[in-house]
Structure 1
């Protein structure tokens, strides 16, 4: 049974909880439109403060997830997984609560509130004294009481359920806890107002500063240099650090303070490892962290998908990507960032996860999909990819896998360019297309006797055609190049060559209801497919789902094993825990310990071998229709 005040009154409202700001918005709008001046300006101030508080948490979240900046200063090396993200989804409930409480206070003290000046230096002195003498000890003892058996079990354990601290974790607590926290933050403000020393700047500064410190303490990145405490030792008792607060979540009987460790020292609850661990993390920040065993070298598809990264909006990155209206206003800013990335032109660490104790990372080449089709951009893109491979080689990475366009045949021969140029590479370069081909051929029903294949002479098209003809499946290969078709046909055994048929028009497939699309086709070209056709595809970007009487497969993908740890973002349009087959192919290469490079043409003989290895390691096929 849920205890009183353990859940939020608007817990079941979902996104409609923001309607609770409605009265404040209505008051501001009506006053603006129908009155000569803006009366009850406190309504506007509350809304602005709420917006700024959300921004403070968002900026801290972005910084916390910028792994390319923070990876060597992380306190816990694990990542935030989907379960924690879902638990903390409504982290901003406390902002709504405190907005409502602030509205009640302003209504009761309207005469005092209206007289508050913009600036009053006396208010800051009053605020500081009340905070240190009342709010800090009040929070300390309230926090300790919440760690008593009954209160912890029914109220405070929710806050401690987050295994990896994140700025949003500070807001992830029960209704009762945030009522108490509202009293803690409200006492200094009320004291200043009642004494007549308050000012608008003081209120803004205290509330935003309070949130800033809470976010800093719940960050998984240490930001306070140890040199500060070494030179000024007394400061370690006046301001806590992310490391200091993280110890409270690992050793719950210590470090209860709000912001000042002085009170833990006074009442003998200060963790004796606090300064040593803080010094160790900050000292080690200049050193290289753990070397990943596997790297997936990705790229951005377009400007909209560039916002589908954890350091932009964590919750959005945790669900499959699709273009959403709320992203449109961010487009110009993202475009500017894109230009800056072009100027910077360095790969950076985007995400990571652990599998069987191995660290797997995703690095990103700062190039967008359309650039790969610009002839003059080819050399620059290959240079970036080459630098990433050499960087991985220097670090001791075992396998680096190239994402879709990073291994484009016309660009670098499926990675062959880099292997030939650097024959002494220790890191294994993998395009992962062998598993991609395996996924596609295993999606095709066993009773299918004929398929229509576009992109038939590409790396994947060639491998799929040869594999299917071996299994006595007739393959209609769409290509205008007789020479390239015949070259592939000669690779087939003499008794299966007749299963490969060259076609040059789409109408040749008007009676074939299994299409394998490796080259983008227009809605008009899709009309040649008979009703009930299923479109398998390995084309980037995916084709449009235009036909209502047909079904469309997703890009070849595999579900990661269940023991993956720290994964909290979706890979482009893939579901949670699902990665593109070329990504999974690189992981298999690393787990199996294979020592060859997988570049250039696909070895058809290895398709079944790679598929069986994937299943052995717990990967599962993802075959979805839409």
Structure 2
């Protein structure tokens, strides 16, 4: 998925740059096959020897170390917890996510090295569980050998030749994260194996080694590497004021970030002491650390899209859960189902907190666009007793945006449900002095759907015909002399819409009450959930346009199905690294895009309630003018 690495143009790949198993892609995990087979076979035979125990330790460490990196990436992307202490304000983009996709290659390498070490020194399998003397010995070896060795290897990698051949890859990541810690060439991780191995093996050969030391050293090593590469400050500066010696003992995310900004400084592994000794410490290190760790406010967004969850499984597509998974369009994967119970418990906690949270962000033409999310799932919007609580959430988000100085807040699909709050009119009427513009974005949604319909179509079948979108689509098509079969049992609501059309076009609107009425119509516009049985009334070759949430399930193989109305953001968008639900990269739902257009145009009116049919073409042209493109 995506690019495996960023390549330097016109550069011949240096020896040991690539990983030996690079062409295997995700099949690389089969390299663990022999270890897994050995452990499973020994369990089956109920005969576990030293070899089996060593294999089990290697596999367990792989899982635990990967989990450490994943926990750091989860917390790093929880913008609602750490946004004020972010170091680099730019978001992680798709190209960086693709480049770091195989960040865990080094774990496979170290597993292979560990296996080879055991084959060379089988006595290591006899290590005790615990030996206190080993901790002191390991610390001495780490501080006295590993730290200075890493410092000089790292500094050597920054010489012109080696940097251009190898180390540029690590620095190609614009925004550091825990996955960036593992993003380097094969040669660099071979060298890192030496740095990591010296304290563990040295302690073992001296006679003070233990299993607990091996686990604790590797996990602490990974923890500190992730800490340094995280893009937010976690260590309060007051700690260094109270204990000044700590400035030489432990680095911080800010300290390491300066190495990526000024590559001639801050080379240390974990201890700034060695930068101090060899005069490569960045003079801004602790002032900047103080500034960032003390920060209490973050940049105010200019535009906010207020989203909501769809279901428990799709909530795992959030950027702060699985970064790589969220960077591709959502689809149900087998690995998601074991996570369901934990996800459900997490969602219960978020419901109890009852606070809107910052979900993701991107920059467009120097303006900050954020997505906030209401901690509610799709089915809750259809529970009558939940309506008041949901509206309170939405109202709170709007008032917060107004207080902060946000220019436009756009409501996602169910957050502007007509039955819930009248398409946003509830909030505008309740708070007439709002400075923030409330936008449902449905005018552009209608425009996208209408421009998908071929010009030569003379008849369409429309479900959800009396909804906000259904009404606007019907009236627009009627004025194009398209016959619209409006599925609705309510004659009163149909007549009300029909009377809105100019007198000369009212005959183009026809009420129907059954799906059978459309058995000869090949253009269906779905605005209400349609069952498989109802879909089978469509003739072969029908195309299903849709604006229903969630989208209908494509059962008919002899028909085609459109996706939810969407538009691609302009090419100059920055910091975007997650996909919006099932949409592709850089693509957002039309209502989201409608809010963006409203903001870019600087319109001062609220876009709530019924859609102004006369504005459909105006909004469409404005979207194209600003570089938003239909799919």
| Corresponding residue SS for 1:359 | strand
1:552 paired residue number:
561
| Corresponding residue SS for 1:502 | strand
CA contact (8 A) 2:50 2:125 kept: no
1:150 paired residue number:
161
Residue 283 of structure 1 deviates from its aligned partner by 1.5
Question: Residues 71-120 of structure 1, C-alpha deviation per residue, up to 9 Å, x if partnerless?
Answer: 00000000000000000000000000000001111121112x13211110
Alignment of 1:466-615 (within 5 A): 466-615=475-624
Question: Residues 374-396 of structure 1, C-alpha deviation per residue, up to 9 Å, x if partnerless?
Answer: 11111111111111111111111
2:271 paired residue number:
260
Q: Which of 74, 77, 80 in structure 1 is aligned with 2:89?
A: 77
Provide structure 1 residue ranges, at least 5 long, that are not aligned to the other structure: none
2:67 paired residue number:
55
Q: Which of 9, 26, 31 in structure 2 is aligned with 1:15?
A: 26
CA contact (8 A) 1:490 1:497 kept: yes
Q: How far, CA to CA, are the matches of 1:22 and 1:529 in structure 2?
A: 50
| Corresponding residue SS for 1:438 | helix
Q: Which of 84, 91, 95 in structure 1 is aligned with 2:107?
A: 95
2:80 paired residue number:
68
Question: Residues 343-384 of structure 1, C-alpha deviation per residue, up to 9 Å, x if partnerless?
Answer: 111100010000011100000000111101111111111111
Residue 303 of structure 1 deviates from its aligned partner by 0.4
| Corresponding residue SS for 2:376 | strand
Q: How far, CA to CA, are the matches of 1:31 and 1:370 in structure 2?
A: 47
Q: Say yes or no: does 1:28 pair with 2:70.
A: no
Across the aligned residues of Structure 1 and Structure 2, the Cα RMSD in angstroms comes to 0.8
2:419 paired residue number:
410
Q: Which of 208, 211, 220 in structure 1 is aligned with 2:219?
A: 208
Q: How far, CA to CA, are the matches of 1:37 and 1:621 in structure 2?
A: 61
Alignment of 1:19-418 (within 5 A): 19-40=30-51, 41-111=53-123, 113-284=124-295, 286=296, 288-418=297-427
Question: Residues 227-251 of structure 1, C-alpha deviation per residue, up to 9 Å, x if partnerless?
Answer: 0111111211110000010011111
| Corresponding residue SS for 2:595 | helix
Question: Residues 440-487 of structure 1, C-alpha deviation per residue, up to 9 Å, x if partnerless?
Answer: 011111111111111101000000011111111111111111111111
CA contact (8 A) 1:28 1:38 kept: no
CA contact (8 A) 1:469 1:475 kept: yes
Q: How far, CA to CA, are the matches of 1:479 and 1:78 in structure 2?
A: 48
CA contact (8 A) 1:31 1:39 kept: no
| Corresponding residue SS for 1:9 | coil
CA contact (8 A) 1:32 1:38 kept: no
TM score, norm. by length of structure 1 = 0.98
Q: How far, CA to CA, are the matches of 1:155 and 1:69 in structure 2?
A: 35
What is the aligned length? Answer: 619
Shift >6 Å, 4+ stretches: none
1:449 paired residue number:
458
Q: How far, CA to CA, are the matches of 1:201 and 1:36 in structure 2?
A: 23
Provide structure 2 residue ranges, at least 5 long, that are not aligned to the other structure: 1-11
TM score, norm. by length of structure 2 = 0.97
Q: How far, CA to CA, are the matches of 2:530 and 2:145 in structure 1?
A: 69
Residue 319 of structure 1 deviates from its aligned partner by 0.5
Q: How far, CA to CA, are the matches of 1:16 and 1:74 in structure 2?
A: 35
| Corresponding residue SS for 1:515 | strand
Residue 535 of structure 1 deviates from its aligned partner by 0.5
| Corresponding residue SS for 1:548 | coil
Q: How far, CA to CA, are the matches of 2:260 and 2:378 in structure 1?
A: 43
Q: How far, CA to CA, are the matches of 1:35 and 1:603 in structure 2?
A: 74
